[in-house]
Structure 1
């Protein structure tokens, strides 16, 4: 795993697994911490293909974080790729559900399900 950014509140790690770029998030994603995710998505989108964002380690996500993911999705689609989510839990899952964003992204229970394709996206 190659860390893209690391601070006390939020980390982003990027790795290539089975033809996908997996972006693992941990901590609190908000206005003050969103830039490393923005940069990781921008870099990954340039290469096209499948982007899988692992949210299992994310304890908090505000509207800025959601907007960064939505923008990344649009950029990926324009480049012929996709952005998929895995590991939505707790208050982060609730925010995605309330806003309807969980219906915009393919969402998997975890990264293993997404990579194995054994269970389709839930929604």
Structure 2
């Protein structure tokens, strides 16, 4: 496991297994802080398994994060997975229309996958609806139902 703090604004933790490389990102990702993430994603292209970017603990992101993810998508293709994007990150991805380009976990996937005492970031609440029952999330072909697509998170 490798952990790096850069400028006290972003924290990047890497976990690897034979099947997946997980990059857990927390803090703020913008033009001044994103370089370590870009470098880690570029290095991940040499990894032969899937690459998961856990964004559940990102408090703020701008288009620099989106650019880094799209650049990684060019080299990693379908092996890239964005796991549990925080509410501000999900909103950014949807507003920019890249939520259909990047493989995203459904909202709440991280909460279902880890015990409540380990979660440090509150999950985003679903917008109020007209009382209609929401359809369950589609089964993910990467993992059995109820598991986090990036494997267990370690804090």
**TM-score normalised by length of structure 2:** 0.67
User: Matches of 2:35 and 2:5 in 1, distance apart?
Assistant: 11
| Residue 145 (structure 2) aligns with | 118
* Distance in structure 2 (CA, Å) of the matches to 1:103 and 1:119: 22
Structure with bigger helix share is 1
**1:54 lines up with 2:51 in the alignment:** no
Q: Would you identify which runs of 4 or more consecutive aligned residues in structure 1 move more than 2 Å?
A: 109-117
Q: Which has the larger radius of gyration?
A: 2
CA contact (8 A) 1:48 1:76 kept: no
Describe the shift of the 1:117–1:17 C-alpha distance in structure 2 as closer, same or farther (beyond 3 A): farther
State how 1:93-112 maps to structure 2 within 5 Å: 93-108=90-105, 109-110=109-110, 112=113
- Alignment match, 1:15: 15
Unaligned 5+ runs, structure 1: none
Match of 1:6 in 2: 5
8 Å Cα contact 1:53-1:85 kept in structure 2: yes
Report deviation, 1:17.
3.8
Aligned equivalent of 2:87: 90
Does structure 2 retain, via aligned residues, the 8 Å contact 1:73–1:83? yes
In the TM superposition, 1:21-32 aligns within 5 A as 21-32=21-32
Q: Secondary structure at the match of 1:53?
A: strand
Tell me by how many angstroms 1:119 deviates. Answer: 5.8
Superposed CA deviations along residues 86-113 of structure 1, whole A, max 9, x for unmatched, are: 1112211100111111111111123949
- Structure 2, unaligned runs of 5 or more: 115-139, 148-155
Output the CA distance in 2 between the equivalents of 1:58 and 1:12: 10
1 CA distance for matches of 2:50 and 2:11? Answer: 21
What is the Cα-based RMSD across aligned positions, in Å? Answer: 2.3
> How much does 1:18 deviate?
6.0
Q: Which TM-score applies when normalising by structure 1?
A: 0.83
Aligned length: 116
